[in-house]
Amino acid sequence: MNCGWKGSIQDFLNLSLRDFIQSLTSYVYGSLSAQQWQDEQQKIHSQQRAWQDCYEKLQSIFQHYQAVEGSLIFEYSILRGSGRRPDVLLLLPGHVLVIECKSYNDVTAAEFLQASLYVRDIEHYHSSVQQHSLKVTGVLLLTNDSSEELLAINKFQIYLASQNSFYKLLCVLLKKRTDAIITADQFLAGTYQPSPSMLEAARAILHNEDLPRIRAINSSNFEEVYTTVQAVIEEAIKTNTHHLVLVSGEPGAGKTFLGLQIAHATPNSVYLSGNGPLVEVLQDTLSNKTFVQSLYGYKRDYLQHGKTPHEQVIIFDEAQRAWDAKKMGSHLSEPDVIIQIAKANKPWSVVIGLLGDGQEIHLGEESGLSLWNTAIQSQHITVHAKHENKLFRNAEHYEQHEHLHLNCSLRSHAALNYYAFVNTLLDGDIHQANYYKKPLEKQRYPVLITDNLRKATDHIRGLYAEDHKTFGLICASGADGLKKVPVIPFENRNELPKPATAYFNYPASPYYCKNLQYAATEFQTQGLELDCAIVHWDEDLCWNGQNWIATHTKNGAKSPVQMKLNAYRVLLTRGRDTTIIYIPPKPQLAQTWTLLKEVLELPIL
């Protein structure tokens, strides 16, 4: 049983305080050793006092609702939810009410957000809630407040109630009752399958574990895209032909997830990425260097050592960012090399290019997909893509497929228009950005701003206290000296684990994200993610009232402003649960702060 206590409202009213405390203590702390129990005595006693307060106040409230058909679950463990436990779940006809009990009135933004995320996760990822179409609501119950007001905290889509006003919320829920009622046992028998992080999904793929059938995947076309790509591979094998498949999708839509799944499931295949930190983190996470490889080493073996790799299915991550010949220091571009490898003495091959929009952040990546059209000239290659053929004139055949674009972001949970908000903001289309921002509150994806870094770090630590979720500071490269927080170094290449890997995987390292001692850049986080990202926005990108002005840009870039915007596009799309934008109080950033605070009306932390 993954909770401290469960039963009907009547069962709770008949429950003694002693049995209640004993049941919860045994569940939460029962696995501690004798020494750990001794070390944790103060914390345990504090928690028991909080449970007693919650028990006494709910006993008083439910004395007036003895006839209500409903159940209570205390300290429900959100399985695969990083150790999180809502205080109380109240199951009513048609509703699940998430109750967080607070014995003090000075509630922080982190506590509101934590309750909001409980509501989001249970609503979207719990099978029983989905099956019975239950409405999930959240409330912070101030157990020692005498106010008569029931407040709706719209910023977090959460109610704030006292013991005296809690009945108002119950009356609202009971009036909206439906025939859908489940017991505590039925709820606990359901499965909770949250959206996995990319690293969690990678581990599951490698170990042949079943991936969760989360609603986000079920409502997207992920399976159709996977099936379409596999059908092309089967066609290539059957007909001894060569193919280029282009799969597009916004950040967080599951492109890396798709590529890893194909690489693991398909014999004679490899997943290539020119993103060094991504490769390092994946290889370290998986303890495997076989099916995820560095593009640099792969092409070097071919060009410098004359070794032709044997793989016939080559997955090229971020194919729109392939290097041109100038960046390669050769007469060949990266697409030229990959196509040559794919065709070299091989009866069939499939190159799968994963495409992300607006994330070209390295020099030499700005030529886009045209390099692939040049590479396939006279190579007898069939190109498969979602869109009409406006570019690949050198394809022997061109096949348009409905399902070669991943149409749903899996990173930001239910906030499916968050990427559109980021895009329009960075495009300078403030009217559209406002349009896409409005649903974010209801979708429980708060974007918060602050000019106080300590507030941001305190908030994030409070949000994920005793939680295994990840959070960290990130910033754009090129203006390191401006930052209050040092940037993870790119040197120290002999250091193990390498800095970017330590940022994601090694808690003992000062570089580790949750230690908040270093910030990672767009290069070290692209393709990866955090549950909460603090984006350190600085004077390298400033709003002047009409346009974005970029400084500290890359020498030699064809479009230095666009590359800076792309860097911020990467940073602003790393957070799974929420994004906090920290803007230092500098004169150069005054109009940027005004834009976010007054025009877009983003909540201030």
**527 and 280 Cβ atoms separated by less than 8 Å:** no
**498 and 280 Cβ atoms separated by less than 8 Å:** yes
Question: What span, in angstroms and rounded, lies between the C-alpha atoms of 239 and 378?
Answer: 19
Q: Which residues of 434-466 are buried (b: 16+ CB within 10 A; e: fewer)?
A: eebbeebbebbbbbbbbbebebbbebbeebbee
Q: Nearest to residue 530, comparing CAs of 457, 462, 469?
A: 469
Question: What span, in angstroms and rounded, lies between the C-alpha atoms of 268 and 566?
Answer: 34
Q: Is the pLDDT of residue 62 over 70?
A: yes
Tokens 């860097």, located at residue: 567
Question: What span, in angstroms and rounded, lies between the C-alpha atoms of 282 and 116?
Answer: 31
- Helix H, strand E, coil C: the string for 563-575 is HHHHHHHHHHCCE
For residues 189 and 481, the model is more confident at 189
**462 and 110 Cβ atoms separated by less than 8 Å:** yes
* Distance, C-alpha 501 to centroid of its chain: 18
Give pLDDT tens digits for 535-548: 999 999 999 999 99
**570 and 361 Cβ atoms separated by less than 8 Å:** yes
Structural tokens at position 7? 């039963």
Give pLDDT tens digits for 212-226: 544 444 557 888 999
- pTM greater than the 0.85 cutoff: no
101 three-state secondary structure = strand
Of the listed ranges 34-38, 339-343, 502-506, the one predicted with least confidence:
34-38
Residues 6+ apart with CB under 8 A from 263: 269, 270, 271, 291, 292, 313, 315
For residues 483 and 157, the model is more confident at 157
Question: What span, in angstroms and rounded, lies between the C-alpha atoms of 513 and 507?
Answer: 8
246 three-state secondary structure = strand
Cis peptide upstream of residue 497 (ω within 30 degrees of 0): yes
Q: Is the pLDDT of residue 288 over 80?
A: no
What are the backbone dihedrals phi and psi of residue 450, each rounded to the nearest 5 degrees, phi first? -155, 150
Domains of the chain, with CATH numbers? 5-189 (3.40.1350), 199-406 (3.40.50.300), 418-599 (3.40.50)
Tokens 């190579």, located at residue: 379
Which whole number is the average pLDDT over 356-373?
58
Structural tokens at position 594? 């005004």
Q: What is the mean pLDDT of the chain?
A: 86
Structural tokens at position 50? 């909080």
Question: What span, in angstroms and rounded, lies between the C-alpha atoms of 221 and 403?
Answer: 7
For residues 444 and 219, the model is more confident at 444
The pLDDT assigned to 294 comes to 86
Give pLDDT tens digits for 461-479: 988 877 788 999 999 998 7
Give pLDDT tens digits for 66-119: 778 899 999 998 765 456 789 999 999 999 999 999 999 898 888 998 899 899
Structural tokens at position 272? 């290539």
Q: Is the pLDDT of residue 360 over 50?
A: no
Give pLDDT tens digits for 193-210: 766 676 776 777 666 665
